[in-house]
Amino acid sequence: MSCVINHLFNILDKFYILMANIFSLEGKNAWITGASYGIGFNIAKAFVAAGIKTVIFNDRYEESLQRGLDNYKEAGIEIRHLRSLSTE
């Protein structure tokens, strides 16, 4: 019986490794809207911890964009940023 259980654990280990590779974010880029600060910024930090290479974020307000740039620089996160056009 223990031989069967060990075999099952070996299969589960291989399955876990396979699934981890399929869903890996390693080396990928993420475009997150509204990620200058707050929830979006924390999502970006979680993505970086999961292997994202570069975070791209946008904001339509210059002040928020600058605040985001400062937040990312302080956190040591590689970023690209865009200023969205506003219809105001």
The single residue listed with the structure tokens 């993420």 is: 30
Give pLDDT tens digits along the chain (88 positions).
Answer: 678 777 777 887 777 776 666 777 888 888 888 788 888 888 888 888 888 888 888 877 888 888 888 888 888 888 887 776 655 5
- Contact, 83 vs 60, CB < 8 A? yes
Q: Determine the pLDDT at residue 26.
A: 86
Query: Going from the N-terminus, what domains does the chain have, and what CATH number goes with each?
Result: 25-88 (3.40.50.720)
Sheet arrangement for strand 54-59: 29-33, 54-59, 79-83
The model's pTM is 0.64
Token pair recorded at residue 49: 């911890």
State residue 1's pLDDT score. Answer: 62
Gap between the Cα atoms of 84 and 33, Å rounded: 10
Identify the CA nearest to 58 among candidates 30, 24, 34, 27. 34
